[in-house]
Amino acid sequence: MAQEASSSTSSKTISLKTGDGEIFEIEASAAKQMKTVQRLIDDLGDDITIPLHNVFSKELPKIIEYYKKDITGEITKDFEAEFVKDLNDDEVKVLFLAANYLDANKLFEFLSQNIADRLESKSVEYVRKYFGVENDFTPEEESKLREERAWSFRGIKEDE
């Protein structure tokens, strides 16, 4: 398992196969940042194409792009702002869930902050839709809760 000398990980690439069958390459040092991938490498060896059932070809390239920058230490606030600039709320969500699945901590932290920023002062209905949460309150229960939390409804933005 850990037979390879650690120096070999610096230039080795790992093949990743997405849930929809596409293959992407990443550097072994970037793979180390994704704990799920690293665990799979430890179990299956680094010569095999690592299957990632829950990550798809739409989001994996973006994740790889992030970690490419990370290993060269180039992640700046500007880079991060640019990274999410053109993504809509759903795209960020998908990326975020993928980062969670891959156990990619740095990206997870960054995206959770970004999602929180996007959800700031959004209506309850919007957030329900976003998280896929079904409202199981009765109308009376809900209006009572809203009244109790009236103070937290300051500055709520209109839904688009």
Partner 1 sequence: MTLSNKKANCGDQIDRISDFPSNVIDGILEHLNIRDRARTSILSKKWRYIWTSFPRLEFDKEFFDLYDGDSDQEDFVDHKPNISRFITEVLLLHNGPIYKFTLFMHRHFNIKIEFLVKWILFLSRKGVKHIQLVNNTYHSYRMPSHLFSCQELTHVRIRHFNMSVPPNFRGFKSLLHLHLEQIKFELGALESLISGCPLLEELCILNCSGYECVDLSASPTLKVFHIEYNHAIKSICLEKANSLIDLTLIVYRDGVSGLNNILPKVQRLTMGLDSKMLYADVIHPTPLICLKYLKLSTVNLEQREELLHIVSVLKSASNLVELVMETCCDKDYKTEVPDHAEELDCSSYCLNQLLTVNIKVKTNFKHVMSLIRFILANSSSLKTLTLDIDLGYKKSDVPILFGISRDLLWMERASQRAHVEVLHQRIDYDFKDYRYY
**Does residue 117 interact with partner 1 by CB under 8 A?**
yes
- As a whole number of angstroms, the distance between CA 26 and CA 68 comes to 8
- Of 8, 76, 133, 157, which one interacts with partner 1 (CB under 8 A)? 133
The dihedral of CA 97, 101, 107, 113: what is its sign? positive
**Does residue 149 interact with partner 1 by CB under 8 A?**
yes
Going from the C-alpha of 8 to that of each of 11, 44, 48, 110, the distances in angstroms are 6, 17, 16, 29
**Does residue 2 interact with partner 1 by CB under 8 A?**
no
**Does residue 49 interact with partner 1 by CB under 8 A?**
no
Describe the strand order of the beta sheet including 50-51 as a list of residue ranges.
23-27, 13-17, 50-51
In the complex, which residues of this chain contact partner 1 (CB under 8 A)? 35-36, 39-40, 53-54, 94, 96-97, 100-101, 103, 108-109, 112-113, 115-117, 119-122, 124, 127-128, 131-137, 142, 145-146, 148-155
